[in-house]
């Protein structure tokens, strides 16, 4: 009887976990993220910037994926952002500035920013601000 009870208990737990897995899922991708994923980019990291319109310096390091990438894309979620500077630090310590100033609407992406061949990315620094009164924005780094 103990063996039968254990088998039934295991079956009940397995079914419960399976049902919970159906109802507990990660949030659906937003339109800008869908765009990046469709183009073969993978998520490397993000930073949040709060309202007020003041310039903030943030970096995304400790990337979620390793490897050599040929391009990056920036994704902005939730609120508009003005990006003043982007500095990419490669694995060999060399730094590169795309030399572009971006203004993003909410839920938008940058163009593809080519890195000039396969490069290991150590970190990406940003100087940005979201527009006054628009809440906080999420700035994401994607690469392929």
Let me know if residue 119 belongs to a domain.
Answer: yes
Let me know if residue 7 belongs to a domain.
Answer: no
**Does an H or E element contain 14, and which?**
helix 2-23
Give the rounded distance of the alpha carbon of 115 from its chain centre: 18
Let me know if residue 123 belongs to a domain.
Answer: yes
Let me know if residue 126 belongs to a domain.
Answer: yes
Counting the structural domains of the chain, the total is 1
Let me know if residue 60 belongs to a domain.
Answer: yes
Per-residue pLDDT at 3: 53
Distance CA 48, CA 77 (A): 9
Residue 140 main-chain phi, psi, to 5 deg? -115, 145
**What is the 3 state secondary structure string of 20-86?**
HHHHCCCCCCCHHHHHHHHCCCEEEEEEEECCCCCCEEEEECCCCCCCEEEEEEEEEECCCEEEEEE
Per-residue pLDDT at 31: 65
Tell me the residue range of the domain where 54 lies: 29-143
Distance CA 143, CA 41 (A): 5
Q: List the chain pLDDT tens, one digit each, 144 residues.
A: 455 444 444 444 443 434 343 333 345 566 667 767 777 899 999 998 876 677 888 899 988 988 999 999 999 988 888 899 999 999 999 999 998 788 888 889 899 999 999 999 999 999 988 776 667 889 999 999
Let me know if residue 4 belongs to a domain.
Answer: no
Let me know if residue 5 belongs to a domain.
Answer: no
Let me know if residue 121 belongs to a domain.
Answer: yes
136: CATH:
2.60.120
């Amino acid at each position: 009887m103990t063996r039968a009870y254990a088998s039934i208990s295991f079956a009940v737990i397995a079914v419960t976990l399976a049902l919970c897995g159906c109802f507990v899922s990660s949030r659906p991708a937003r339109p800008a993220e869908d765009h990046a994923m469709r183009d073969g980019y993978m998520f490397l990291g993000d930073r949040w910037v709060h309202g007020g319109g003041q310039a903030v310096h943030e970096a995304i390091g400790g990337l979620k994926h390793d490897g050599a990438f040929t391009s990056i894309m920036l994704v902005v979620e939730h609120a508009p952002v003005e990006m003043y500077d982007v500095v990419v630090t490669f694995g060999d310590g060399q730094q590169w500035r795309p030399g572009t100033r971006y203004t993003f609407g909410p839920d938008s992406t940058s163009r593809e920013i080519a890195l000039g061949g396969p490069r290991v990315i150590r970190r990406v620094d940003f100087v940005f601000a979201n527009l006054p009164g628009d809440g906080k924005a999420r700035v994401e780094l994607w690469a392929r």
